[in-house]
Amino acid sequence: MSGKQRSAGKKRSSKTNKGNKGLKSVLCQVAWAASKTKNSRLAALHSRVVRRRGPKKATMATAHVILKICYVMLRDKTTYQELGAEYLPKKEKGLDYWVNNIKSMGYTIHLEDSQSV
């Protein structure tokens, strides 16, 4: 099943849409070069996607983000602002996650405010 993605019994295509082949090749080269930079948002994105999907899909995803960045820059008439490698904050697991995790191990847990003690 090449070009398909399955999740929860649903099939979704992961193929790219038809478009300008020249633009795609230039964007992919730019994305590959951006993935080699240090401490940049695009390099961090590329490395995250490479782990899950592989280098070719990661390059295409990075090219897509570059295209979106270019669109916003042209639309808003602004310059590019590098947001850094830590642009996306790491998601921290909330209290509910840990409570449910402890309960799934067979323990009972009682929570109370530290201020009410």
pLDDT digits (tens, 9 = 90+) for 30-88: 999 999 998 889 999 999 999 988 999 999 999 999 999 999 999 999 998 888 777 76
Predicted local distance difference test score (pLDDT) of residue 28: 94
Predicted local distance difference test score (pLDDT) of residue 8: 72
**Closest-CA residue to 47 (of 86, 93, 2):** 86
Distance between CA atoms of residues 106 and 89, nearest Å: 32
Residues 4 and 14 sit within 8 Å (Cβ to Cβ): yes
Predicted local distance difference test score (pLDDT) of residue 1: 44
Q: Which residues contact 36 (CB under 8 A, 6 or more apart)?
A: 43
* Pure H helices in 1-117: 21-35, 41-53, 55-76, 95-104
> pTM value?
0.64
Distance between CA atoms of residues 7 and 30, nearest Å: 31
Residues 49 and 59 sit within 8 Å (Cβ to Cβ): no
